[in-house]
């Protein structure tokens, strides 16, 4: 009965969602601000009881009759991916449930539904039964993650991991993980995420991040320090785990209308706040010892489009270490030597997912004590260079074999415009001052900028600002929007900076160990000041002080570019009244040097 009812609610919700999104957007902020104090304090809303459908669904439900597009419209891309991995391929996905995106707008506008707590408890009991543990149980505690299932906006929504850890459950988790240190580390991670996402404290206030060399006692001291700080700031973390879960769900709802989410939507040309689904899943632990890991993998190279599995991972860590750039990562190839069974399972899953999606895919994964779990799948964000190569390759793929019209749809007009304009050719003989991961291709000669708030001003003044950071945070997106290139001291090809840069065509070099931030900024031992001229070579992962563009040189076009141009022109001849989807106008294959990149 519930499945039939649920699918009916989902279908109706998907139709209403598009109609209601804009009208809800303005009311949402004000309505929620009025209630946010009560919610953070754990008080019950004062709204009258209303009969409201509660769209909550178990990701293990079969969703019979729902296709990929319907699932995505109804549940959000992330949740739909989880359902498809389990339902269509039988891949290992942690148990969980999804709160539909329409409810987030309803909650923001009208408050927490009176019946939502009981529904969450009902689905939580299912998770507990499958896991053989309970939320808040001192002996066998269940920990969960709370994530957004929104339309694809990498890193723009809040995430809370390790919910369920606290003083009363620490020993139970330590027994499960076989390590007191790992359990305390989970507690510290949870406090940081909860304090920033739910309680509204800024990340800069919370400098107590777990370090690889920290002992259990050092980590516990950091935990106690953060708990005291939250209390001093008047935002203590409640001890009731169900209250924490409710507040975490609210925080994810609220993040769909955050400043960074709005900035991202403006840059992407997306409509106003359409809300977000929330995914609550059983935690799996990549920090459970020497046979555990977490990472991000791609079925093809997201910078070049080459047909090879690539990505990065960390041993004995969690996925946030990878995407935030907080830890030095290893290449995915190295995983074959340390976790061979999990690596083989991952490679097989990537191939099957590429066939299912008929596209290049990326996954987030965790290995807990040798067993692989997949936490997310999506069509991979890719550079313009990769987009043309992948589109052409998939036309020739023996099993996928997309048509030429579909291949042209896979390359956006913006990407073709970017490629047809060409890029700066950099002197290959010049000795770089810093090297790192070639995270996003392209080359730029511009000026150094260290503050995301200043990037837009420099761009408005006609400069080409190169945003240089220790690492980029989602809150830096307003600066990335206007950056001509990005250079980070930490992070790799799966970090927030790299993912966003590739999708926006911004050259990026990440993990530049020679880039040092102290009282001053230096790279390769040479001082860098705001406004200094730099050359960023995102194709080869090089950063050079000064202008190293080769005058009159022509950078080679990416593989597949001429094929897309030819197919696009053929399409235009066959349909003279319609502009080909892949091009902004007539394209003549050719690669020319960009104008002076400093202005």
Opening angle at CA 8, ends 7 and 9, nearest 5:
90
For residues 261 and 44, give the distance between their C-alpha atoms in angstroms, rounded to a whole number: 28
pLDDT tens per residue across span 305-364: 999 999 999 999 998 888 877 788 899 999 999 999 999 999 999 999 999 999 999 999
Which of the two residues, 28 and 122, has the higher pLDDT score? 122
Task: Tell how strand 278-282 and strand 160-163 pair up.
Answer: unpaired
The percentage of the chain sitting over the pLDDT mark of 90, rounded to a whole number, equals 55
Q: Which two tokens stand for residue 500?
A: 């966003």
What would the mean pLDDT of 19-23 be, rounded to a whole number?
35
Model confidence band, residue 207 (pLDDT cutoffs 50, 70, 90): low
Q: How many residues does the chain have?
A: 599
Predicted confidence at residue 358, as pLDDT, reads 95
| pLDDT band for position 578 (cuts 50, 70, 90) | low
- Band (pLDDT 50/70/90 cuts) for residue 209 is low
> What is the secondary structure of 443-505 as a DSSP string?
EEEEEEE--HHHHHHHHHTT--EEEEESS--GGGHHHHTT-SEEEESS--TTSHHHHHHHHHT
Above 50 in pLDDT, residue 28? Answer: no
Structure confidence at residue 265 (pLDDT):
81
Tell me the three state secondary structure of residue 521.
Answer: strand
Nearest one of 108, 89, 93 to 32, comparing CA atoms? 108
**206-210 average pLDDT score:** 68
Q: What is the spatial distance between Cα 353 and Cα 362, in angstroms, rounded to a whole number?
A: 9
At residue 274, the pLDDT reads 72
pLDDT mean across residues, the chain = 83
pLDDT, residue 72, reads: 84
- Per the model's pLDDT, the better-predicted residue between 117 and 594 turns out to be 117
Whether residue 210 contacts residue 179, with contact meaning beta carbons closer than 8 Å, is answered with no
Which tokens is 461 given? Answer: 């003044």
User: Which of 476, 544, 478 minimizes the C-alpha distance to 509?
Assistant: 544
Predicted local distance difference test score (pLDDT) of residue 337:
95
pLDDT on residue 7? 44
Using the predicted structure, report yes or no on whether residue 78 has a pLDDT greater than 60. Answer: yes
Lowest mean pLDDT among 166-170, 197-201, 262-266, 444-448: 262-266
Q: Is the pLDDT reported for residue 25 higher than 50?
A: no
Q: Which two tokens stand for residue 561?
A: 């570019």
Q: What's the pLDDT score for residue 45?
A: 41
Q: Does the pLDDT value for residue 397 go beyond 50?
A: yes
pLDDT, tens digit, for every residue of 252-307? 998 888 878 888 788 777 776 777 889 999 999 999 999 999 999 999 999 999 99
What residues contact residue 501 under an 8 Å CB cut-off, 6+ apart? 439, 440, 480, 486, 507, 508
H-helix or E-strand containing 280?
strand 278-282
Give the model's pLDDT for residue 93. 97
> SS3 string of 161-201?
EEECCCCCCHHHHHHHHCCHHHHHHHHHHHHHHHHHHCCCC
Q: What is the pLDDT of residue 327?
A: 81
Burial of 331 (0-12, 13-18, 19+ CB in 10 A): middle
The helix (run of H) or strand (run of E) holding residue 347 is: helix 340-357
Please give the Cα distance from 335 to 17 (Å, whole number): 42
Residue pair 395/401 in contact (Cβ under 8 Å)? The answer is: yes
Q: How confident is the model at residue 69 (pLDDT cuts 50, 70, 90)?
A: confident
Cβ–Cβ < 8 Å for 248, 137: no
Structure confidence at residue 557 (pLDDT): 82
Q: What angle do CA 407, 413, 418 make, to 5 degrees?
A: 110
Q: What is the pLDDT of residue 492?
A: 85
The predicted-structure confidence for 420-478, as pLDDT tens digits, reads as follows 877 788 999 999 999 999 999 989 999 999 999 999 999 999 999 999 998 877 778 88
Q: What is the pLDDT of residue 269?
A: 74
Between these two residues, 142 and 149, which has the higher pLDDT value?
Answer: 142
């Amino acid at each position: 009965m519930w499945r039939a009812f649920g699918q009916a609610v989902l279908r109706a919700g998907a139709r209403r969602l598009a109609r209601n999104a804009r009208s809800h957007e303005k009311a949402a902020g004000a309505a929620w601000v009025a209630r946010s104090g009560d919610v953070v304090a754990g008080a019950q809303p004062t709204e009258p009881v209303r009969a409201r459908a509660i769209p909550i669904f178990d990701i293990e439900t079969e969703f019979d009759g729902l296709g990929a597009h319907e699932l995505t419209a109804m549940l959000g891309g992330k949740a739909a991916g989880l359902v498809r991995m389990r339902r269509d391929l039988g891949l290992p996905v942690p148990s969980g449930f999804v709160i539909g995106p329409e409810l987030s707008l309803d909650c923001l506008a009208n408050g927490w539904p009176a019946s939502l707590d009981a529904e969450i408890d009902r689905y939580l009991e299912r998770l507990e039964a499958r896991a053989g543990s309970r939320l808040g149980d001192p002996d066998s505690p269940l920990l969960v993650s709370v994530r957004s299932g929104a339309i694809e906006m990498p890193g723009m929504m809040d995430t809370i991991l390790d919910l369920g850890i606290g003083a009363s459950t620490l020993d139970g988790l330590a027994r499960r993980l076989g390590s007191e240190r790992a359990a305390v580390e989970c507690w510290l991670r949870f406090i940081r995420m909860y304090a920033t996402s739910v309680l509204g404290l800024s990340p800069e206030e919370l400098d107590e991040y777990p370090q690889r060399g920290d002992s259990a006692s050092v980590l516990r001291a950091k935990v106690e320090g953060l708990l005291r700080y939250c209390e001093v700031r008047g935002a203590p973390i409640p001890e009731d785990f169900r209250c924490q879960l409710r507040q975490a769900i609210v925080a994810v709802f609220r993040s769909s209308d955050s400043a960074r989410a709005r900035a991202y939507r403006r840059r992407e040309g997306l409509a106003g706040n359409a809300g977000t689904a929330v995914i609550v899943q059983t935690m799996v632990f990549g920090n459970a010892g020497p046979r555990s890991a977490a990472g991000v993998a791609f079925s093809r190279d997201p910078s070049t489009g080459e047909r090879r599995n690539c990505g990065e991972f960390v041993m004995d860590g969690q996925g946030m270490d990878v995407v935030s750039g907080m830890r030095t990562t290893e290449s995915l190839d190295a995983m074959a030597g340390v976790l061979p069974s999990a690596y083989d399972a991952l490679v097989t899953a990537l191939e099957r997912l590429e066939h299912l999606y008929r596209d290049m895919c990326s996954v987030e994964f965790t290995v807990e004590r040798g067993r692989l779990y997949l936490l997310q799948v999506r069509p991979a964000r890719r550079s313009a260079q990769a987009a043309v190569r992948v589109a052409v390759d998939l036309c020739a793929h023996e099993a996928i074999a997309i048509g030429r019209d579909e291949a042209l749809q896979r390359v956006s007009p913006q990407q073709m415009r970017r490629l047809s304009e060409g890029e700066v050719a950099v002197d290959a003989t010049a000795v770089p001052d810093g090297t790192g991961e070639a995270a996003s291709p392209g080359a730029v000669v511009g000026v150094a900028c260290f503050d995301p708030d200043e990037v837009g001003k420099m761009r408005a003044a006609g400069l080409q600002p190169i945003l240089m950071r220790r690492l980029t945070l989602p809150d830096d997106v307003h600066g990335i929007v206007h950056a001509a290139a990005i250079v980070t001291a930490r992070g790799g090809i799966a970090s927030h900076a790299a993912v966003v840069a590739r999708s926006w065509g911004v050259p990026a070099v990440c993990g530049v160990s020679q880039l040092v931030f102290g009282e001053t900024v230096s790279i390769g031992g040479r001082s860098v000041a705001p406004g200094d001229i730099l050359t960023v070579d995102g194709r080869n992962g090089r950063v050079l002080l000064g202008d190293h563009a080769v005058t009159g040189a022509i950078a080679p076009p990416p593989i597949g570019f001429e094929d897309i141009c030819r197919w696009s022109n053929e399409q235009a001849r066959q349909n003279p009244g319609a502009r080909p989807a892949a091009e902004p106008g007539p394209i003549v294959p050719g690669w020319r040097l960009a104008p002076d990149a400093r202005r």
